[in-house]
Amino acid sequence: MSALRNYLNRIKPQFEQGGKLHAFHSVFDGMETFLYTPRTTSAPSGAVHIHDSIDSKRTMIIVVCALMPCFFFGMYNTGYQHMLALGQTSASFWSLLLYGFLTVLPRVVTAYIVGLGIEFTFAQIKKEEIQEGFLVTGILVPMICPPEIPLWMLAVAVAFSVIFVKEVFGGTGYNVLNVALVTRAFLFFAYPAQMSGDKVYVASGTPFGMGEHLPDGFAGATPLGQIATQSGPVLDIVGVNGAPVDTWQAFLGLIPGSFGETSTLCILIGAAILLAFGIASWRIIVSVVAGGLLMGWIANMCATPLYPASFLTSLDQLLFGGFAFAAVFMATDPVTAARTNTGKYIYGFLIGVIAVIIRTYNNGYPEGAMLAVLLMNCFAPLIDYCVVQANMRRRTARLTVKN
């Protein structure tokens, strides 16, 4: 490790004022503080007295670590669904994992290159240090998209959301909407054929000669996608091989879906990591789940063939689709969520309720978690404002009574 430190120290003068690589000073600074704790801890004015080794780079890295179980399971599931669609059940664990890895690797690389490229460019123009917000976004984006989303579409969507959702508002920490979710929303509305239907959620490519092309007639709709075309009261959810899907499989995540969001088990592991390190707010996670359960129960009580998803039990509402992923990794984004504790309960609860309302009562959108989080992102500042105002009124009232 000290060799790396020495190397950085040796090349550092070239990036400082007057050095010949000064144009790339923000890149160097970004890499140095990514690898090592910065020498300076806070503003030199001495106005703050924070002594803690946690900074936003380390916060982001913990989130990335918490995403890893979902990511590895996504790799396995991508290969598993592909082989299942081919009818080959004999493929080894490692070959499934490798297939998924080779499928997703170009997406991750594309998301990082485009997103970080834009971030570095803006940091250089604005003469600021590079913000680390894209560390998480770059890994989140491939995880909430279909496994084989075309690379150029991903690049366009990432560029759009980094520029128009983050940079024009002032960069990391100032965005109103969740950048990763806007990327997905952009893809969803701009290229609907590549983001829905019964073909896109099972990988059909042959990266580096692995796997085989899928037959033309194959259908691999996600559970929620299948439900949207049925009429109940008994919902017939099948896997890509035609066998019925049970709740346990949905919990494990062996169902077609976006790359990283299928496994509720791995999302729970991620949630445990986030909560153990104090990164995510348990208030938001709990209230999103409560909202989803309540609205799922209400919808199930008033189930009607007009809205087939209302025949799902409220537990299934949590297991299918992106609900759990949104609750743990999207709703808890500290920048776009409500800040006050009371506000967090309201914010999370409404996300859960609206997500189930959209996926149940709008047959055009089989999944509503993305739109629910984006909608509540817009309302989070208003919720906070109301909570703070209510608190001030209460305290004023207490004062006047005493006088």
Could you say which of 3, 193, 234, 301 contacts other proteins (CB under 8 A)?
Answer: 193
Whole-angstrom Cα distance, residue 376 to residue 354?
A: 9
Which one among 186, 251, 323, 347 touches other proteins, defined by CB under 8 A?
Answer: 186
Strand partners, 300: none
Distances (CA, A) of 370 to 37, 181, 189: 35, 6, 12
Query: Residue 230 or residue 362: which is nearer to other proteins going by CB?
Result: 362
Quickly list DSSP for 39-78.
S--S-TT-------S--HHHHHHHHHHHHHHHHHHHHHHH
Establish if 390 lies at the interface with other proteins (CB under 8 A): no
Is 189 among the residues that bind other proteins (CB under 8 A)? yes
Query: Does position 77 bind other proteins by CB under 8 A?
Result: no
Least gap, CB of 106 to other proteins (angstroms): 14
Q: Is 192 in the site for other proteins (CB under 8 A)?
A: yes
Kindly state whether residue 232 participates in binding other proteins, applying the rule CB under 8 A: no
Q: What whole-number distance in Å separates Cα of residue 184 and Cα of residue 125?
A: 27
Q: Which is nearer to other proteins, 31 or 163 (CB)?
A: 163
Distance CA 228, CA 376 (A): 24
Q: Is 364 in the site for other proteins (CB under 8 A)?
A: no
Measured CA distances, 289 to 67, 95, 140, 283 (Å) = 19, 35, 21, 10
Residue in 191, 282, 361, 365 binding other proteins, rule: CB under 8 A = 191
Min separation Cβ 113 and other proteins, Å: 19
Q: CA–CA separation, 275 vs 336, rounded Å? A: 18
What six digits make up the tokens of 367? 């999944």
Q: Name the residue nearer to other proteins (CB basis): 35 or 125.
A: 125
- The span of 9-17, 132-140, 188-196, 390-398 binding other proteins (CB under 8 A) equals 188-196
365 lies in the site for other proteins, by CB under 8 A: no
Per-residue interface string for the shown chain with other proteins, residues 121-160, x marking contact by CB under 8 A:
-----------------------------x-xx--x----
Nearer to other proteins, 204 or 332 (CB): 204
SS3 238: strand
Using a 10 angstrom Cβ sphere, with 0-12 exposed, 13-18 middle and 19 or more buried, the burial of residue 397 is exposed
Enumerate binding residues for other proteins (CB under 8 A): 150, 152-153, 156, 164, 168, 186, 189-194
